[in-house]
């Protein structure tokens, strides 16, 4: 039987995980998005590849920092392997036993007229997170209080809710703000802090349709210059990035193979290394200019 864990990604630098699509608008390089909601994502294959590359790199260049062997990494992540003797040289896929889900954006840092940034999200995004946790990990009674709390927010005449003492708060160009006036239940605060890793004093919850538009049209765009081999300037191009302090969440599963008692030691070895919060992973393009560096934090429950 499969089992699952939830993880939060916090970006430590700008991140560009490209969609790979040809685009003829102003922005040349777009990021990956959910095709329905326009909310940024990291596809599961890219997530798996980046984490696999991290462990491969340790094994090759700094083996003292990992106890995993080459065979164990292949067992966990899979590999291309030689096929049958009658077809020498042919490769086939050997699937790994870890199950990666795509990483969905949880919060996007946006600029306010007060404070440095706010962790911005929507009722729909939070609810999706809670439902995924309920479906794959376990039912958490406190989640019902947070879901009920979210339903009290009505966005007819304003753009977002916030939860501190700021006066006349604007975030980006949105000024129809509403402070949540009543006392926030302690179980709600605890869920936001413990399960979503959100500081409620820097939280803004936007209308879901408005936040989808922000994610579609207002992700930061950076102008970059392609430098030719001779050192002269080439094309100027434009690239979307998820800004530093964006957070995303994803599920990591262990299939029935890794849940066997005989594989308990391999799973524990991997979890011990992967759950080390001091590790820094790199996702997406532009490693050499510091893009994509991130921490991954396990949600403890």
Q: Tell if the pTM clears 0.85, that is, is over it.
A: yes
Instruction: Write out pLDDT tens, residues 17-57.
Output: 887 655 545 555 788 999 889 999 999 999 999 999 999 99
Instruction: Write out pLDDT tens, residues 261-293.
Output: 889 899 999 999 998 877 899 999 888 889 999
Label each residue of the chain as H, E or C: CCEEEEEEEEECCCECCECCCCCCCCCCECECECCCCCCEEECHHHHHHHHHHHHHHHHHHCHHHCCCCHHHHHHHHEEEEECCCCCCCCEEEEECCEEECCEEEEEEEECECCCCCEEEEEHHHHHHHHHHHHHHCCCCHHHHHHHHHHHCCCCCCCCEEECCCCCCCCECCECCEEECCCCCCHHHHHHHHHCCCCCHHHEEEECHHHHHHHHHHCCCEEEEEEECCCCCEEEEEEEECECCCCEEEEEEEECCCCCCHHHHHHHHHHHHHHCCCCCCEECCCCHHHCCCEEEEEECCC
Residue 80 above 70 pLDDT?
no
Instruction: Write out pLDDT tens, residues 135-148.
Output: 999 999 999 999 99
Domains assigned to the chain: 1-17+44-101+242-301 (2.40.30), 108-218 (no CATH)
The mean pLDDT of 175-192, rounded to a whole number, is 89
Query: What pLDDT is recorded for position 82?
Result: 54
């Amino acid at each position: 039987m499969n089992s699952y864990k939830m993880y939060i990604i916090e970006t430590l630098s700008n991140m560009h995980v490209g969609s790979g699509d040809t685009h003829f608008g102003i922005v040349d390089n777009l990021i990956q998005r959910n095709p329905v909601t326009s909310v940024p994502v990291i596809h599961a294959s890219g997530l798996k590849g980046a984490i696999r590359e991290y462990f491969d790199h340790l094994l090759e260049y700094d083996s003292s920092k990992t106890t995993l062997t080459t065979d164990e990494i292949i067992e966990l992540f899979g590999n291309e392997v030689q096929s049958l003797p009658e077809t020498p040289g042919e490769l086939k896929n050997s699937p790994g036993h870890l199950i990666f889900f795509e990483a969905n954006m949880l919060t996007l840092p946006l600029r306010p007229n007060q404070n440095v940034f706010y962790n911005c999200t929507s009722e729909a995004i939070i609810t999706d997170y809670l439902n995924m946790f309920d479906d794959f990990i376990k039912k958490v009674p406190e989640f019902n209080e947070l879901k009920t709390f979210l339903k009290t927010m009505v966005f007819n005449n304003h753009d977002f809710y916030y939860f501190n003492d700021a006066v006349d708060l604007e975030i980006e160009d949105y000024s129809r703000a509403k402070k949540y006036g009543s006392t926030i239940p302690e179980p709600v605060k605890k869920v936001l802090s413990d399960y979503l890793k959100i500081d409620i004093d820097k939280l803004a919850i936007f209308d879901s349709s408005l936040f989808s538009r922000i994610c579609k049209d207002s992700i930061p765009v950076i102008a970059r210059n392609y430098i030719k081999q001779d050192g002269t300037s080439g094309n100027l191009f434009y690239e979307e990035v998820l800004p530093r302090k964006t957070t995303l969440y994803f599920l990591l599963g262990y299939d029935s193979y890794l849940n066997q008692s005989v594989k308990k030691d391999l799973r524990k070895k991997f979890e011990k290394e992967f759950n080390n919060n001091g590790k820094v992973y790199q996702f997406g393009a532009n490693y050499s200019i510091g893009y994509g560096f991130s921490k991954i934090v396990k949600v403890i429950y």
